[in-house]
Amino acid sequence: MARPKIALIGGGQIGGVLAQLCALRELGDVVLFDIVENMPQGKTLDIAEAAPVDNFDVSVTGTNSYKDIAGANVVIVTAGLPRKPGMSRDDLIGVNSKIMTSVAEGIRDNAPDAFIIVISNPLDAMVTLCQKVTGFPACRVMGQAGVLDSARFQAFIAWELGVSVRDVNAMTLGGHGDTMVPLVRYASVNGIPVMELLEQKYGSAAKAQEVMTAMVERTKAAGGEVVKLLGNGSAFYSPASSAIAMAEAILKDQKRVLPTCALLNGEFGVDGFYVGVPCVLGAGGVEKIIEFKLDATEQALMDNSVAAVKELVGSMNL
Ligand code: TXD
């Protein structure tokens, strides 16, 4: 049986880590595309030459031609500029929407059956544009933001409570921007509410709330925290790992429930917009959007986040 094929559009910081992770996990043969000549060929040659050490039997090649992505099962898009310190994700919309349009045309014309996972920022707008240009069904075009935003929230909770990250469950909803909604009420350590554990630790509900609020705020600003420290570019290891989890769920039909930027059809009161919500990811792509009850405060935060996404998407005049 032929191995799956994964095309990575954009061979920069995230693209390089994606290629290496695909190889290390033997998810399939990898083609790394970039408009910069020789760079994707150089990166993939470097990765491929580690195969005898890492023992992977997939091919990893670089290209400047969209023809080489033909037959891709999954395409992950990172093409576009990253933020510089002081910039918001939304500041990237002008330049990145031009790039996304050409990328989406390249995918549409060369890999018409692929599932697409968009990573480029501003995420919610870039996924919307990608789906419009390709015309692919919405279940095949999705964005990665929530897996990472949730992972950051989970990491902060694990560090605070001194427990393994593996036992922390927590999720963010909404857009991939300052308005994202980390869900406190559902955050748990193996089902035990995090707020209860914080109250035990600090002996006071007020202090527990203060600590949680700080973690929520850190989650919302976590991308910027890394941008500031790096000084040049944005996070790339964790975004790559997050997109790989989504690609793996699709390629292996895992039916994982992952926060995904998906096109909503009335769920959570949102119609016709891409927003981050929990979805079942499997061989059919976004197989199901999981809706659940938000309380009034959570719904208000979600509405606020959706309003920000709508404004951003509206500015593209699609
Ligand atoms: O969780 C998330 N969704 C994100 C998103 C987390 C962190 C960063 N995120 C965004 O991903 C970031 O704001 C950027 O918009 C993308 C890619 O970030 P990366 O750090 O990988 O950027 P690089 O290193 O600048 O790589 C971008 C590559 C670079 O090699 C360019 O030559 C290439 O994109 N590029 C193109 N490729 C194909 N086609 C076109 N037109 C093109 N233009 C530039």
**Ligand 1 site, residue 260, Cβ cutoff 6 A:** no
The predicted structure's pLDDT at residue 87: 87
Would you tell me how many other CB atoms lie within 10 Å of the CB of residue 120? 28
Given this model, what pLDDT does residue 63 score? 98
Task: Say yes or no: CB of residue 127 within 6 Å of ligand 1.
Answer: no
- Residue 145 CA to ligand 1 centre (angstroms): 14
Q: Please state which architecture CATH assigns to domain 5-145.
A: 3-Layer(aba) Sandwich (3.40)
Q: What is the mean pLDDT of residues 136-162?
A: 98
Q: At what angle do helices 93-110 and 123-134 cross, to 10 degrees?
A: 30
The pLDDT score that the predictor gives to residue 84 is 83
Predicted confidence at residue 317, as pLDDT, reads 85
299-311 confidence digits (pLDDT tens)? 999 999 999 999 9
Helix H or strand E segment including 176: none
Question: Is the C-beta atom of 119 inside 6 A of ligand 1?
Answer: yes
Residues 14, 308: Cα–Cα separation, whole Å: 26
pLDDT tens, position by position, 218-229: 999 999 999 999
- Per the model's pLDDT, the better-predicted residue between 86 and 6 turns out to be 6
pLDDT reported for residue 48: 98
| Domain spans of the chain, in order of start | 5-145, 146-318
Residues above pLDDT 90, as percent of the chain:
95
pLDDT at 85: 87
Catalytic residue from among 43, 140, 176, 256: 176
Region 231-249: mean pLDDT is: 97
Report pLDDT digits (tens) over 253-265.
999 999 999 999 9
Q: Would you place residue 146 in the very low, low, confident or very high pLDDT band (cuts 50, 70, 90)?
A: very high
Q: How far is the CA of 296 from the centre of ligand 1 (A)?
A: 37
Q: How far apart are CA 179 and CA 149, in angstroms?
A: 12
pLDDT tens digits for 116-127?
Answer: 999 999 999 999
Q: What is the pLDDT of residues 32-48, one digit of tens each?
A: 999 999 999 999 999 99
Q: Is 24 a catalytic residue?
A: no
How many angstroms separate the CA atoms of 302 and 273, rounded? Answer: 13
CA max distance for the chain: 62
What pLDDT does residue 233 have? 93
pLDDT classification of 83: cutoffs 50, 70, 90 = confident
Output the residue whose Cα is nearest ligand 1's atom 36.
Answer: 79
Token pair belonging to 148: 């990472």
Q: Which residue has the tokens 């973690």?
A: 215
Please check whether residue 280 is in contact with residue 255, taking contact to mean a CB–CB distance below 8 angstroms. Answer: yes
Quick one: DSSP state of residue 269?
G
- Ligand 1 centroid, distance to 109 Cα (angstroms): 21
Count of beta carbons in the 10 Å neighbourhood of residue 292: 10
Q: Which of 37, 41, 81 to mutate to test the pocket of ligand 1 (most atoms within 8 A of CB)?
A: 81
CATH domain 146-318 topology: L-2-Hydroxyisocaproate Dehydrogenase; Chain A, domain 2 (3.90.110)
Are the C-beta atoms of 151 and 242 separated by less than 8 Å? yes
Q: What is the pLDDT of residue 86?
A: 87
Asked whether 16 lines ligand 1 (CB < 6 A), one says no
Query: Can you give the pLDDT at residue 318?
Result: 84
Inter-residue contact 11 to 30 (CB < 8 Å): no
Q: For the chain, give the mean pLDDT.
A: 97
Instruction: Check pocket membership of 134 for ligand 1, CB cut-off 6 A.
Output: no
Q: Is 145 exposed, middle or buried (0-12, 13-18, 19+ CB in 10 A)?
A: buried
Which atom of ligand 1 lies closest to the CA of 16? Answer: 21
Closest residue by Cα to atom 3, ligand 1, is 119
Backbone angles phi, psi at 113, to 5 degrees: -105, 5
Is the shortest distance between the CB of 305 and ligand 1 below 6 Å? no
List C-alpha distances in Å: 46 to 23, 65, 95, 239, 300.
Answer: 12, 19, 30, 21, 49
Task: Count Cβ atoms below 10 Å from residue 71 Cβ, excluding itself.
Answer: 15
Tokens coding 20: 């290496």
d(CA 280, CA 299): 21
Return the percentage of the chain with pLDDT > 70, whole number.
Answer: 100
